[in-house]
Amino acid sequence: MKKRLFIGTTVTIPSSELKKIKKDISNLDIFGKWVEEENLHFTYRFLGEVLSPFIPEISKNLMKALSNVKKVEAELKGLGVFPNNKTPRVLWIGVNAPGIETIKIAVDESLKPMGFKEENKEFIPHVTVLRIKKFRHRIKFSNYLNKMKDHLFLKTTVKEVSLIESILTSDGPVYKKLETVKLL
């Protein structure tokens, strides 16, 4: 049996901040699927479909690789989009955390013995909040993103990293932590 997995850190963003973004986005005629508050996270590495017998080894390697990694202070700050402002598909909150690269490197190192290839894309820590289906008013939206680029949503400490199963359902994904490693 296979499980759809990723390695990440869950976050709790104040509901008042999320309500404000939702209202602003609605006023800009942007439509899509909002990520449920309990599913908010940032991802260090998406693993995809993994055979169940390999999960204990991934957990063991992850725990070993992160055993000497320290907690990181983080700011959830600013809004951005992927892939770009002309054709936005994902609205996200940025994760500004000096030292988070150390966690990413440890995660990647833990996966090498399992045959996972290095990623070719730049690591941009972020929390996805909306999957955009339709939008209008490109200039108004760009202005809004610019206005929000320095908005501080939350200061937090990254205290743990989890191996998370993503169970896809008709109502959206359900996340289940399989292993959690506490940072020093």
Residues annotated as part of the active site: 41, 126
Going from the C-alpha of 16 to that of each of 31, 34, 37, the distances in angstroms are 20, 15, 12
Give the single-character DSSP code of 56.
H
Give the single-character DSSP code of 145.
H
Collapse the DSSP code of 163 into the 3-class scheme (helix H, G, I; strand E, B; otherwise coil) and give the result. strand
| H/E stretch holding 22 | helix 15-27
Contacts of 154 (CB under 8 A, 6+ apart): 11, 13, 14, 17, 75, 76
Going from the C-alpha of 17 to that of each of 34, 40, 45, 91, the distances in angstroms are 14, 13, 26, 14
Residue 183: which of 97, 110, 102 has the closest Cα?
A: 102
